[in-house]
Structure 1
Amino acid sequence: MAEKNEKSPPLPDSVSVDNGRHIDERILKHSHDADVALQAIQQAGDGQVIEIDAATNKRLLRIIDWHLMPLMCVVYGMNYLDKTTISYASVMGMKKDLRLVGDDYQWLGSMFYFGYLGWEYPASQLLQRMPLGKYSAICVVLWGLVLSCFAAVENFGGAVAIRLLLGICEASVTPGFALLTSQWYTRKEQGQRTGLWFSFNGFGQIVGGAVAYGIAKGTDKNGSSIAPWKIVFLATGLFTICIGLVFLWVIPDNQLNARWLSQEDRVLAVERVRINQQGIGNKHFKMYQFKEALKDPMTWAFAFYALVADIPNGGISNFFSQLIVSFGFTAEQSLLYGIPGGAVEVVALIASGFMGDWLGRRVMCSMGGLVTAMVGVILIIALPLANNDGRLIGYYMTQASPTPFVALLSLISSNVAGYTKKTTVAAIYLISYCVGNIIGPQTFRPKDAPRYVPAEITIVVCYGVCLIDLAFIWWWYSSQNKKKAMIRASEGYAKLENQEWLDLTDGENAELLRKVNFNTYKTENNHREQTIRARYYLQGTQDYAKYNVLCGNLRSLAHKLSALDPSDPFRKQLESEILEKLWSIGVLKQSREQGAGLSRVEHDVTVSAFCRRRLGVLMTRNGMVTDVKTAVTLIEQGHVRVGTEVVTDPAFLVNRNMEDFVTWVDSSKIKRTIMKYRDNMDDFDLMV
């Protein structure tokens, strides 16, 4: 449900924001064009902040999850499957048919990342300037088309061209999904969602292995006019095209044009991510943010991790089928035995994302996956060649290694603010990812087969260095949070309301914490509830919760009634009764005769609306006292009556009919003192 704070009349040359405060136009100029959300919030609520209760937030999150997560997960699974299809094809006759010799196959593995590398920064700029949903969908369709064309390749040169184009088309997927996640989800939700869609890399490996094995067995048994490896490329490519078209239809560019959200829910979907201290999109390139990204030590700490961690990834992802063959299994068995590795990745990523968000320690929780992978590589190196099962288990353990990569990706989504800075940091991170994946396949030299010991030692060293880098990132964020806490506690510091939509960077915004302990997050950061409790001096511990539940029930009822036919007699009667009752108690600003409808219930029935009808608040508004706290004290002492009844409960709600009859008890000495002070006593009063 929506909760709107009071707003004072707008000042000249200013932009209205919540709590009656205003942001001077110069601040907007300093921010080089505010986020697109600012205008939407102002148009929808006249600049007022909208408070969302738990029930409405849960309903919106459920709708968003059902529309975004399934498609993002499937597309990202195909993203991994499509770029690693070459690994399955390598043991299904592709190397022979394309006449690959020497290190040709290694270069095919690297060529994808050359395309990815060359297009990553242009892709980040296009993601910022182009409609996010549409551009991402077009890239998905194009990469499916390119992958299908691999079936027509007849030589090494053609394969190089296709792999290069495939890298270009897929360069937008990961940064685009990171932007979508930060756009739609709160910081508390981002780690789990990022881990979820990234975990479909593992599902891609599971499905890919099963499909490739089925095709290999089927063609071996029944024969085929098309080479089995070509069927794999055609099947995965055509499916990607289909899912890309669905993605184009379902995924919006932002909350404001989501066809599956009502007009009211679109605004609420924007408002629910206000707490991120970031916006939902800004199409203006800002040079100062670009420079800040280059100067930020975390940009290069992230980049260093991506470079070093993806040297092992580049080797393993392109050679895992051949690596399993080197353990003593057949080519067909390697397709099937690669499937459990995908399951390990899925479990590791989902568990790491959940634990990281729950404990508020994403980086530290993600280290467990990297340590597991390091132990797995050591097993592959140390165990004898005859121990096929043990070495295979070691390979499965290496599939837990992406957990820190995903944790850092989610930190870019949640901790890096300023749209230009965010896209720049993401681009540098993924460029480093490409460089690591280019180097990785070159460590698996044919002369080192079947053990590939130099490559495996390289992997262990890389993982060890990555752990040191992760520890540095954790330390840096902790120290920066302490510095920001000192800034917020300093004399003269003032938080600018609605600054969340000004496209400020994390360096400019002291309110943006770079690490959050979500165990205490609810109590420490529920600013709106605390603001309302302080403003209206709510003493009862359950008052806010009761108003919240009441508002949620009323909004839910209004939502259900609005789904009925407007001519339905039941709807007409109940709608009339609800609107009349809410207007008479003063919660709605307009009556039904004045044009109020069910939509006003969703907008105006708020916790603040009920709080404004409390006796102490009305006394303050009517000038009987100067503040609500004083009014509450006088009410509890029995100095106030409503009509003929003395009221001692500060939570008493005064309806419209009785608000003119709020006055002092005749015998109240407080009344005499106040009237004497204000020189309002007449001769009769002075004689009493």
Structure 2
Amino acid sequence: MPFLCACYTLNFIDKVLLNYAKIMGMESQLHLIGNNYSNASSAFFIAVLLFSFPNMWLLNRLPVAKCLGFNLLGWGLCSACHAALSNYGGLVTVRVLSGAFESGIPPALMLLSSQYFTYSEQAPRFAYWYMGMGNGQILGALISFGFQHMSPSAPLSSWKTMFLVLGLVTMMLGVIVLLFVPDSPMKARYLNNEEKVALLEHIKVNQTGIDSRHFHPRQLLEGLLDLGCWGIFFVIILQSSGSGVVTAYSATILTSFGYTPKQAALLNIPSGVVNIIVILSYSAFVRFRGQRWLVNAVAGAIGTMAAALLCFLPNSNRAGLLAGMYLINVLPGASNITFQWLTCNTGGHTKRTYATAGMSAAFAIGNIIGPLTFRAQDAPQFRPAKLTLVVMWGTSILASVLCFLYYSWMNKSRARGSGGTAEKVELSQAYAGLTDKENKDFSYHL
């Protein structure tokens, strides 16, 4: 789990460093004009969208940990290449290549961590590595603040040096993952045979199996027709539209309040703290009470309120604006629960793998939409972009409730079909490779 957390921390640092590079002189050095920066930010997530399904095909056919390690190496190399940039075309190129490699990171983390734990145990484990989002915000802010103190006469610009160091660290982590992270519980060198059997017995209640390299077209078709999958994809798109704001424009928004770039970096640290607190709170609630839909609905309400503060408060009300800036992290922090909601409601390795790819694609779509709403002509307040957040996050509340109603209806339909009896979970059924629709013992989580 520490390796997975480190992967996601670096993953998020890479996203927020572009945000800081913008206020550290990148725009002038690369001669960016108009919407060039927004387009470069969106290009990264367009690549994530385009490469989500090819990466998931590889994850379905190849060892998961090995795919993760090689993606880390490729993405680290791309991050280091930021140090050689001289124009807009080069920036778009490295952001597209970075997105191609990074698109395989979150799905690999989800697949690896879901192999070892029951559904009730998965929420805190997902939260453990998903705290990398908050860690990344805090470390990214401190890294930016530190590199902003570099001498202007240094042979390499501060923001370029920042990306070079990140790239080298990421490549080192890729080597460590390749050497030490097992592809599945059955290949874990730190477990003996008795412990592996005990683990299989422990997680059989999931009814999803743990690993399979066989592609099943019927499972893919079922996933494409599954209303539950599409509903959660829609929730993720709505939620992640704000992630694009956090990663690409948080520092810009803070400087629009009148703060200096160094102050903006430090003022972003509490955003990471808020993110970590809400992730831990959400996972604890789900661990003991379930009700993932309720977490999403409450987070959506708080996020909508925060976006409204940013949209409608005057610049003179700095305290209110900062409160809104910090509270917008409440909803992106719920994405971890939404991701886990879909994985625990999807049976069959092929279906679950491609559902995970769909989640990555939905996350990318939301992050494409977010930066594109920030148009150069709306600077420095970007009011239309903030108003878009209010609408999208408000809609996410309704979408979460509709997913809850759908899964409740599915459970009631199955209970009527089985006469309301609860069958004992059989090991052969648990690892038969059945999808959630095929396995009549499968119960959907709310």
- In structure 2, the residue matched to 1:284 is 214
Output the CA distance in 2 between the equivalents of 1:358 and 1:493.
23
Distance 2:286 2:272 in 1: 21
2:343 match: 413
Equivalence for 1:396:
326
In 1, Cα distance between the equivalents of 2:414 and 2:72? Answer: 40
Question: When the two structures are superposed, what TM-score results if normalisation uses the length of structure 2?
Answer: 0.96
The match for 2:26 is 94
Offset from partner CA, 1:15-61 (integer Å, 9 cap, x none): xxxxxxxxxxxxxxxxxxxxxxxxxxxxxxxxxxxxxxxxxxxxxxx
How many angstroms apart in 2 are the aligned matches of 1:507 and 1:409? 19
- State the shift of 1:476 in Å: 1.1
Counterpart in 2 of 1:203?
135
Structure 1, unmatched stretches of 5+, are 1-68, 517-688
TM-superposed deviation, 1:495: 6.8
Correspondence for 1:152: 84
Measure, in 2, the Cα distance between the counterparts of 1:494 and 1:273: 14
- Paired position in structure 1 for 2:39: 107
Structure 1 counterpart of 2:104: 172
Summarize the alignment of residues 583-602 of structure 1 with structure 2, pairs less than 5 Å apart: none
Q: Deviation of residue 109 (structure 1)?
A: 0.3
Alpha carbons 1:443, 1:454 under 8 Å: kept: yes
Count of paired positions: 446
2:19 corresponds to 1:82:
no
The structure 1 residue matched to 2:444, chosen from 510, 514, 517, is 514
Contact (CA 8 Å) 1:328, 1:388: kept in 2 or not?
A: no
Q: Answer with 1 or 2: which has the greater Rg.
A: 1
CA–CA separation in structure 2 for the residues paired with 1:192 and 1:492: 27
The CA deviation at 1:363 is 2.0
- Alpha carbons 2:270, 2:326 under 8 Å: kept: yes
- Does structure 1 residue 327 correspond to structure 2 residue 283? no
- Distance in 1 (CA, whole Å) between partners of 2:59 and 2:180 is 18
Alpha-carbon contact 1:117-1:434 (below 8 Å) kept: yes
Quickly say closer, same or farther: Cα 1:160–1:358, change in 2 above 3 A: same
Counterpart of 1:392 in 2: which secondary structure? helix
Could you tell me how far apart the structure 2 residues matched to 1:241 and 1:362 are?
35
What's 1:378 paired with? 308
| Matching residue of 1:136 | 68
SS in 2 for 1:204: helix
Alignment partner, residue 599 of structure 1: none
Aligned residues with identical type, % of pairs: 32
SS of structure 1 residue aligned to 2:439: coil
Instruction: Check whether the contact 2:15–2:247 (CA below 8 A) recurs between aligned residues.
Output: no
The reply on whether 1:248 has 2:178 as its aligned counterpart is yes
**Contact 2:296–2:338 at 8 Å: present in 1 too?**
no
Does residue 505 of structure 1 match 2:435?
yes
RMSD: 1.7
> What CA distance in whole angstroms lies between the structure 2 residues aligned with 1:396 and 1:261?
42
Decide whether the 8 Å contact of 1:255 with 1:267 is kept in 2: no
2:404 maps to 474
Q: Hey, what does 1:339 align to over in structure 2?
A: 269
> Secondary structure of 2:8's partner?
helix
CA contact under 8 A between 2:141 and 2:269: conserved in structure 1? yes
Is there any run of 5+ residues in structure 2 with no aligned partner, and where? Answer: none
Match of residue 394, structure 2, among 442, 445, 464: 464
Structure 2 residue 67 is matched with structure 1 residue 127: no
In the alignment, is residue 212 of structure 1 matched against residue 212 of structure 2? Answer: no
Alpha-carbon separation, structure 1, partners of 2:436 and 2:253? 43
1:270 partnered with 2:200: yes
For residues 241 and 497 of structure 1, what CA distance do their matches in structure 2 show? 40
The alpha carbon displacement at 1:433 in A equals: 1.8
Matched, 1:484 2:414: yes
In structure 1, what is the Cα distance between the partners aligned to 2:66 and 2:421?
47
Could you tell me how far 1:325 is from its partner in structure 2? 0.4
- How far apart in 2 are the matches of 1:153 and 1:492? 61
SS in 2 for 1:184: coil
Offset, 1:380: 1.4
User: Any idea what the Cα deviations from partners look like across 1:316-339, whole Å, max 9, x if unmatched?
Assistant: 321111011011101111111111
Tell me how far 1:126 sits from its aligned partner: 0.7
Secondary structure, aligned partner of 2:151: helix
Structure-2 change in CA distance of 1:491 and 1:144 (3 Å): closer
Higher relative contact order (CA 8 A, sep 6+): 2
SS at match of 1:144: helix
Distance 1:156 1:267, change over 3 A: same
- Worse-superposed segment, 330-339 or 485-494: 485-494
8 Å CA contact 1:194–1:406 kept in 2: the answer is: yes
Higher helix share: 2
TM-score normalized by the length of structure 1: 0.63
Structure 1 CA distance for aligned equivalents of residues 123 and 426 of structure 2: 27
Single out whichever of 118-127 and 265-274 deviates more from structure 2: 265-274
> What is the DSSP-based 3-state SS (H/G/I as helix, E as strand, rest coil) of the residue aligned with 1:498?
helix
